[in-house]
Structure 1
Amino acid sequence: MVKRDFGKPIIFMHIPKTAGSTLHQLFQLNYRSEQIFKLGITGAPTEGSFADRHKISVDKFYSLSTLEQQGVKAVIGHMPYGLHRAFESDAQYITVIRHPISRVLSHYNFVKENPNHYLYERVKNEAPTISDYVERLNSKELNNGMLRFFLGPEHVKIPFDGCRLEMIDVALDRVEKRFVAVGIQEYFQQSVEQFCKFNNWEMPKIQSRNISKSQYSTQVNKSEMEVLLRYNSLDLLLYEELRKRFLKYLVS
C-alpha cells in the first residue's frame, strides 16, 4: 500500500455491508462538511429512490469545475475503484472488507427488512432462502461483490459468475498502488486506529451506525454455505490475502 500524500484527496470506497456508515463519522470529525463530497447525498434531491439520488450525485461530482474540485478533500460513498481519475490532482483510497459469507448474509437480511431496496420485491417473491437469493436473483452484488468493487465500473461487463482468478491480481495491484489502508470489519477497532494513524486523523469514540438487528437468522447450513462459497470463492481468496497483510502489519 502507499504512503499518504496529503496533497491528494482521500476516497472512501464504501463496499455495501462493511460497516461503512459507521466510518462516516471519521470524515465528519476530521473534515469540514464542505470538504466532504457524499455520493448519494451531495448535490442530490432529498426524495426519490436511492439509485436515482446516487446517480444525480455522481453526475454532480463529475461536473465539478477545477476550482470546486480543489475544495473537495474527501469523497465517501458506494462507488467502485476509478473515481481518482476525476481529480486533476489524482487521489488515494481507503476501504473496509468483510468475510464474504457474513457480508452476503447481512445483505440478504438487510434487503428483506427494507421495502425500498431495489431487490426487495424479488426477494419476497423469489428468494425464501439465502441460497435462492444468490442463485435466482443473479445480482452481481452477491457474486464476488467485493472483488468487483476493486475492478472498477468495468465490472458491469463481467456477467454473473464471470469473475476469474486472475482478477484478484488486478485488485491486489490496485491496493498496492493507490490504497493507503484496507480495513477488516472483523478487526474494526484496529482498522479505525490504522486509518487515523495513516491519515493523521483525530481518533473518535466510534458509535456503530446502520448495524442490522435482524429478526432473521445469522446462521447458514452446510448446503447454503456451499452455494455462498461457490459464488463468492474469489471474494474469500481476496479477503484472506488482505486479512493476512492486515494482521502482519498489526504485529510488525
Structure 2
Amino acid sequence: MDEEDEETGLDGGQQYDTPNDIQPPTTQPGDGSKKVDEQEVEEESDQVGMDNVEDDESKQQQDAKQGAPVYMDQDQDEDDGTAQSLDKEDDSAKSREESSIEKLKQRLARDKINREEESELYKKVVKQFRQERIIVENLSLAKDSWKTDYGYAATPWHPGYVPPHPSKWDNLFLNNTWKSDPRSNPFLLPKPHIFIHIPKTGGTSLIEIFRMNEDPDRFFHIDGHPAVRDLDTVKRSDTIFGHIHYGLHHYFHEMDPDRIPDNAFGLNKYSYMTMFREPVDRIISHYFYLRDNVQHPLHSIANAFNITDWVKRTPIADNEQTRRILGLSRTDSFDEESLEIVLHHMKYAIKFVGLTERFEESMVLMSHYTGFKDIKYVRENIGVQRNKVVVEEWVREYIRQKNWMDMIIYQKAKEIFEKQVETIGYDYIQAELAHFRKTNNLDTTTSTSSNK
C-alpha cells in the first residue's frame, strides 16, 4: 500500500449503510445454468447412440442362441472402466463433502462451548468484584484514608525498603541475579504470572523478552483467549502471555487455592501484568497493521473500509484496552458496572503496568516485578507504513470520543506507572535505564519498540 492508497482510505471514500453491504462472492457448486446445460447435453448424447446399442444387444442374443461365442466390444470395456472410475470419484467427492460438513459441525460446537465458558468466567469476575467492593467499603468505613493509604496493587508498600545507595548501583546492574530472589527483591511477584497482551502495545519485543527468561516447559503463549481444550495447559503453567482477558486466575484458584498466599485484605492475590498505549494511536496503528497484513484474518474488513467507517463498525476499535482488563469479550456489550469494575481491577488487581510510549523504561521496571535478568530485545522496523499517514484531527477526536473508557484507564495507567517508578526509586530506575541503553546500544532519544 502506497501513500496514495492510505490517503484514499481516510477521505470518507465509499459509504456503506451497514456492514452487510460487503459480502464475499458466493458460488454454489452445481448451481445455475451450467448444470442444466450439461444435463441436456448428456441426455442428447445418450439418445443419439440408443439405436446402435439396441442393435448390438440383439445381435449378441442371437449369437448366444446359435451357440456362437459372444465377444464384448473393446469400446464397451473402456466405457465400463470409465463409469467405474466416475463412480469412485463421485463417492470420493461425497465423502470429502461429508467430512467437511462434519468438521464444520464440530467447530461450531467447540465455538459454542468456548463462548459459554467465557460467559461463565465473566460471571465469576463480576461476582468477585462485588465481593471485593464490599471489602473495600468496610475497610474505608473503618478508616477514612484507607483507599489513599492503600495506593495501588502495583505499588505495594514494603516496610523498611529504601532504594540502594548509588555506590552499589553499578554492581547491581552488572550482576542482577538478585532480582529473582524474593529475599533480595521485595517487588518480585509470585507465580503464576498472567500477562494480558493488549494488541499493538509492543508484543513482538515483549514475547521475545519473556521467552528468553521463562522456562519453556512452564510458559504458555497464546494468541487469543484460551479455549476449553487449553485450560489444562493454563493450569499447569507458571506464566501465561497472550491476547487474553482478565479472569484466568479463577482456574488457578480452583485447582490450588493455596498456590499463592492470600492478600492481607482479602483482595485479588494473583500476579496480573499488562502494557497500555495511548488509545487513539493504538487504534490507528491497529487499523493500518490489519490493512498491510494480508494474511491476517481481519485484513478484509480493515481493507474494505476507511478508518472512520472501520472504527464505527468493528469491536476492535471499541474500548479494547478496557475490555481486556475488564474481562469482557469483543462480542459482549458494556453495562453500567463496566467502568467501575475495570477501575477496580486497575487499583486492586493489576500488579504491574507498563506504557508502550516508555517501552525501555517499562522493561527495566518490569524486571523488578518478574525477576527477569535479560531484557534485551531486537528493535524491528515495524510501523513504517503507519508513520507516513497523517490522520486528521477530527478523525482522532472521533476515535477519542468512542473510546472514552480507554482514555480514562490510560490516564490511570500513566498515574500508576509514575508511582511504580517512585516506589522503587526514581533516580535508581533512571540510572538503571541509562545503563540498559548504554550496554545495548539503544538510542536514548526514543523508547519505541515493535508495536505488534
* Residues 1:39 and 1:209: Cα distance change in structure 2 (over 3 Å): farther
Instruction: Provide the rounded CA distance (Å) in 1 between the counterparts of 2:245 and 2:421.
Output: 27
Instruction: Provide the rounded CA distance (Å) in 2 between the counterparts of 1:242 and 1:119.
Output: 28
CA deviations on 1:138-165 (whole Å, 9 max, x unpaired) are 221101110011111356320xxx566x
* Residues 1:109 and 1:216: Cα distance change in structure 2 (over 3 Å): farther
RMSD: 2.5
- Structure of larger gyration radius: 2
Same amino acid, percent of matched pairs: 25
SS of equivalent residue, structure 2 residue 273: strand
- The answer for the alignment partner of 1:219 in structure 2 is 390
- The answer for the alignment partner of 2:211 in structure 1 is 28
Instruction: Provide the rounded CA distance (Å) in 2 between the counterparts of 1:163 and 1:148.
Output: 12
- The answer for the alignment partner of 1:11 in structure 2 is 194
Residue 206 of structure 1: which of 365, 368, 377 is its match?
Answer: 377
* Residues 1:7 and 1:145: Cα distance change in structure 2 (over 3 Å): closer
State the one-letter code of the partner of 1:239: Y
Instruction: Provide the rounded CA distance (Å) in 1 between the counterparts of 2:386 and 2:370.
Output: 38
Residue 241 of structure 1: which of 376, 390, 412 is its match?
Answer: 412
- The answer for the alignment partner of 2:177 in structure 1 is none
* Residues 1:215 and 1:19: Cα distance change in structure 2 (over 3 Å): closer
Tell whether 2:247 aligns with 1:82: yes
CA deviations on 1:97-116 (whole Å, 9 max, x unpaired) are 00001100000110101122
Aligned length: 226
Give TM-score scaled by structure 1 length.
0.79
- The answer for the alignment partner of 2:309 in structure 1 is 132
- The answer for the alignment partner of 2:293 in structure 1 is 114
State the one-letter code of the partner of 1:242: A
Gaps of at least 5 residues in structure 1 are: 41-53
* Residues 1:230 and 1:112: Cα distance change in structure 2 (over 3 Å): same
* Residues 1:112 and 1:77: Cα distance change in structure 2 (over 3 Å): same
Moved over 4 A (4+): 2-7
State the one-letter code of the partner of 2:232: S
* Residues 1:163 and 1:192: Cα distance change in structure 2 (over 3 Å): farther
State the one-letter code of the partner of 2:338: M
Residue 271 of structure 2: which of 92, 110, 113 is its match?
Answer: 92
Instruction: Provide the rounded CA distance (Å) in 2 between the counterparts of 1:106 and 1:163.
Output: 27
Instruction: Provide the rounded CA distance (Å) in 2 between the counterparts of 1:76 and 1:32.
Output: 13
* Residues 1:204 and 1:15: Cα distance change in structure 2 (over 3 Å): same
1:39–1:58: 8 Å Cα contact kept in structure 2? no
* Residues 1:220 and 1:25: Cα distance change in structure 2 (over 3 Å): same
SS of equivalent residue, structure 1 residue 11: strand
Gaps of at least 5 residues in structure 2 are: 1-152, 157-186, 261-269, 424-452
Tell whether 2:227 aligns with 1:58: yes
Instruction: Provide the rounded CA distance (Å) in 2 between the counterparts of 1:239 and 1:19.
Output: 16
Does 111-120 or 77-86 show the bigger shift?
Answer: 111-120
1:216 offset after TM fit, Å? 6.6
State the one-letter code of the partner of 1:122: I
Give TM-score scaled by structure 2 length.
0.46
Tell whether 2:335 aligns with 1:152: no
Residue 69 of structure 1: which of 235, 238, 248 is its match?
Answer: 235
